[in-house]
Amino acid sequence: MAFPLQGDDAARHTPPTPIPDPYWVAFSKSCAELIDIPLANNDLPTDHKWLELLSGNSLETESNQFTAPIASAYSGHQFGVWAGQLGDGRAILLGDIANQELQLKGAGKTAYSRMGDGRAVLRSSIREFLCSEAMHSLGIPTSRALAVVGSKMPVIRETRETAAVCARVAPSFVRVGHFEHFASLQNTERLKELADDLIAKHYPDCRNSKIPYLELFKSISSRNATLVAQWQAVGFCHGVLNSDNISALGLTIDYGPFGFLDQFQIDHICNHSDHSGRYAYHRQPQVMHWNMACLASAMLPLIELSHSDEEAQTLLRSALEEFPITYAAAWQKSFRDKLGLHTSEEADIELIERLLQLMHDSRVDYTTLFRSLGNIDKSTLVKDIALRDHFIDRDGIDLWLKDYLTRLAKESLGDEARRTIMNTVNPKYVLRNHLAQHAIELAQQDDFSEVHKLLNILNKPFDEQPENESYSQAPAEHLQSISVSCSS
C-alpha cells in the first residue's frame, strides 16, 4: 500500500522531527476503528505509545513499527501556472496500517520543504481534522484524520503560533502531481510503475480493458467529476484546487483555506489569497476538468506505448470529453435528490437553476434553505411556506414555490417518506467557519472541549440533534466575513 516508487528520484527517507511535550488535542474514534487501533473507555488508544508516534517522536507502538518513513516528490500547476517540482514539504508518510496509509502533516522538514519549516500550526490542524471527519460523515470521499497532537513549540506564520501535527489516513496519497512530475522528467518508466501500482491496488477493473492506461485515466477523471459534483451539492469550497492537490483516487485531500457556503453566492471565494477567483465555488467543476487535462497530458506517454502520438492524443481527448458529461449527470442527480425529486423531467434543471439564482440574489443561507425544503408538504399553500421570508424577491420565490409544488405533485412518494429521504441528503450540520473559529480560539487557550463537541455533532450531520440546534444556524452578521488563507 505504501508509496509505490523507490529511489531518491521519487521519495526520500524522512524520519519525523520530534516536538517537545506532545499532548492530545483531538482524536477520531471512527478513524481509529478503521485502522484497528484498540481504544480505552476514554476513546483514546489503550497503547500510550500512539501519542509519541502521532507526534513524530517515535516510529513504533506496541503492535506497529514504521521503519521507512518517506516524503515523496511531485510537481504541479499552482493557480494555473506550472510550478515545477514541489513534493511533500511537511507531510511524512509513515507507512501502511490495516490497508490504509498513515501520514503525519507538520512533523518537520523534508527534502521538499524548500524555504518552509515543515511544521503545521494548531489552527489549521484543527480545521483539517474537523473537516476531514465531517466530509466522511457527509458521505463524500475524503482522506481521514486520525488525530491532532499539539505542542507549545512556537511556529511563526503571520503571527507567533504553536505547533501541531495532524495524522492523516487514506488508501493512497498519490495525486495528479505525481504523474506530472515524472512526465515533466520524461521518465516513462516511472510513469508506468506509478500507473501499474494504482491499477493493481485501486483500479483492478482497468486490467481487463484493451487499453488499461486509458481506462485508468477515465476512472480517475470520473471519480473526480463525481467528487466535485458532491462538493457543489453540499456547498463545499476547497479553496486551492492546484493539480498537486488532486487525488488519483478521487478523494478530497489537502484541506487548506476551505469553506462551506453560508450566505449563498454562486461566485463565492473562500480563500482570500485567491485574488482572481480562480477557485470560486462556481468555477470548481471547470478547474477540476482543467486538472484532468493536466493528468491526460502527463499520461500521454503511457498511451503512446501502444499507439501513435496522434492516436494517443485522440483517445485522451475523447476520454477527457467524458468529464463534463459525468459531472452533469452527478450534479443533476444530487440536486434532484436535494429537492426530493426521484423521477426525472427535463424541466427539473431549470427549476434547480432558478432556485440557485434566487438564493444568490437574496444571499440565502445554503444549508438551512435546502434542509427546510423537506418541511414542505404537497398540499401546503405558498403563502404558508416560512422560507419565503428569506428572499428579497417575494414574487420570484412565490412563483418558484408554485412551480415546485406542481412538480412535487407528480412524485408518488408521500410527504413523510420524501421528507425522510431528503433529510439524508440535505445536512443540518456542516463545519461553518465561525464554529471552527470558536473551537480554535478555545483550543489556543488549552480548552479542547469545543473541538470534541463539534466532532460529535458533525459525525451525525443529518440528525436533528435538538440539543445542538444553535450549531445548525447561520452565523450572525459580524461572523459572516471570517476569511481563510493558505497559511498553515
pLDDT for 170 equals 98
User: E strands, 14-143, where?
Assistant: 23-27, 70-72, 75-78, 81-85, 91-97, 100-105, 120-121
CA 247 → CA 58, 143, 219, 346, 412, distances in Å? 28, 9, 12, 33, 40
Q: Active-site residue 244, yes or no?
A: yes
Domain parsing of the chain, residue ranges: 11-170, 339-422
Instruction: Please tell me what DSSP assigns to residue 235.
Output: T
pLDDT for 479 equals 73
**CA 73 to CA 35: how far, in whole Å?**
26
Helices (H), 424-488: 433-443, 449-458
**CA 370 to CA 10: how far, in whole Å?**
46
* Residue listed under C-alpha cell 503560533: 161
pLDDT for 488 equals 58
Cell triple for residue 116?
518552509
**CA 419 to CA 142: how far, in whole Å?**
27
Distance of CA 187 to the CA centre of its chain: 30
- Phi, psi dihedrals of residue 71, rounded to the nearest 5°: -120, 135
H or E stretch covering 168:
strand 160-170
SS3 259: strand
**By the 8 A CB rule, do 115 and 86 touch?**
no
Residue 117: other Cβ atoms inside 10 A: 16
pLDDT along the chain (488 residues), means of 10: 78 97 98 97 96 98 95 96 96 97 97 94 98 98 98 94 98 98 97 97 96 98 98 98 98 96 96 92 98 98 97 98 98 98 95 98 97 96 95 97 97 95 98 97 98 98 98 86 59
**By the 8 A CB rule, do 128 and 255 touch?**
yes
Of residues 8, 43, 244, 254, which has the active-site annotation?
Answer: 244
**By the 8 A CB rule, do 244 and 78 touch?**
yes
According to DSSP, the β-strands at 100-105 and 160-170 are antiparallel
Instruction: Please tell me what DSSP assigns to residue 33.
Output: H
Q: What is the DSSP string of 331-391?
A: HHHHHHHHTT--S--TTHHHHHHHHHHHHHHHT-BHHHHHHHHTT--TT--GGG-GGGGG-
According to DSSP, the β-strands at 259-260 and 23-27 are unpaired
- What's the pTM value of the predicted model, to 2 decimals? 0.96
pLDDT for 481 equals 63
